[in-house]
Each structure stands twice: as C-alpha cells, then as structure tokens.
C-alpha cells in the first residue's frame, strides 16, 4: 500500500509520461493484461488511456487492471490512469 507522499511522488513522475496503452471497445482482454504486466515489470510506472468507445470508465478499468496485475492505482484523471508496481528484483524507481 502506498502512502500519500509516495503517491504524490509517483504522480509527479507520471506527469511527463505518455499513455503506452489504449483500451477501446474490446475492453480489457487477456492480451491487455499480459502486455500491461510486462510493461509494469519493465517500467514500474505506466499511464493508460481509455478511448471513448470503451464501455468502462477510467476508474473501473484502473480497478480491474490493478487487481489483475497486482499493481497500485496511482492516479485517475478523465480518461487516463496511472499504475505502479515495484519490480522486486531490479527496482528502477525509488520512493
């Protein structure tokens, strides 16, 4: 569980990130979960965008994905959200 200070630090880091995934009308598929899991293993902090054609809100998608890949939801604004998962073997982000 992240503290509010850790969450604030991650939010400021995520400010400059561009979304590397888009979730559309197909919703969250098994492939989406696998790709996001791989991205979190590599980057630790990712931003995801929800397209207008998607039936899910950004909050719903964030909750669903964070539980599927064991990540922490950091931020959810509009149609974008940020996920964080610390890499145990090789951490890149120190918070």
Q: Which residue has the tokens 């598929």?
A: 29
Give the model's pLDDT for residue 1.
83
Q: How many angstroms separate the CA atoms of 64 and 8, rounded?
A: 22
Give the model's pLDDT for residue 88.
85
Query: pTM for the complete prediction?
Result: 0.94
| Domains: count for the chain | 1
Residue 12 lies in domain = 4-84
Six-digit token pair at 42? 């590599």
Helices 30-43 and 58-68, interaxial angle, to 10°?
A: 70
Is 20 part of any domain? Answer: yes
Give the model's pLDDT for residue 22.
95
Is 93 part of any domain? Answer: no
Neighbours of 39 (CB within 10 A): 18
State phi, psi for 2 to the nearest 5 degrees: -85, 145
Is 41 part of any domain? Answer: yes
Give the model's pLDDT for residue 61.
96
Q: How many angstroms separate the CA atoms of 9 and 52, rounded?
A: 29
CATH of residue 39's domain is 3.30.110.60
Is 92 part of any domain? Answer: no
| pLDDT tens-place values along the chain, 95 residues long | 889 999 999 999 999 999 999 999 999 999 999 999 999 999 999 999 999 999 999 999 999 999 999 999 999 999 999 999 998 888 888 77
């Amino acid at each position: 569980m992240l503290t509010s200070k850790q969450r604030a630090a991650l939010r400021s880091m995520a400010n400059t990130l561009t979304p590397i995934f888009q979730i559309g009308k197909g919703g969250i598929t098994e492939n989406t979960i696998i790709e996001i899991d791989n991205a979190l293993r590599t980057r630790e902090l990712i931003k995801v965008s929800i397209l207008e054609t998607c039936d899910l809100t950004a909050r719903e998608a964030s909750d669903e994905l964070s539980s599927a890949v064991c990540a922490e939801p950091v931020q959810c604004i509009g149609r974008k959200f940020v996920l964080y998962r610390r890499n145990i073997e090789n951490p890149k982000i120190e918070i």
